A and B are shown apart, each in its own frame.
Chain A
Amino acid sequence: MRSTLMFKQSSVAAIEAKPSSRDGELIARVLGGERQLFHELVQPYERSIYFAAYSVLENEHDAEDVAQETVLKALKNLGSFRGDAKFSTWLVSIAINEARARLRHARVLKFESVDADPQDEEREFVPAVLRDWREVPSEALERKEIRELLRSAVASLPEMYREVLILRDVQEFSIADTAVTLGVNEGVVKTRLLRARLMMQKILAPKLKTKHAGSLFGLFKGKASGSWF
Chain B
Amino acid sequence: MNIITFIMDNAEKCWSLTLDHISIVAFSISLAAIIGIPTGVIISHDKRLAQKIINIANIFMTIPSIALFGLMLPLLAIAGYGLGKVPAVIALVLYSQLPIIRNTYVGISNIPPELVETARGLGMGRWVRLKEIEIPLAMPVIIAGLRNAAVMNIGIAAIAAYIGAGGLGVFIQQGIARAYEDMILAGALLVAVLAIFIDCGMAYLEKILTPKGIKIAGDQRP
Q: Are A and B genuine complex partners?
A: no
Interface residues of A (CB under 8 A from B): none
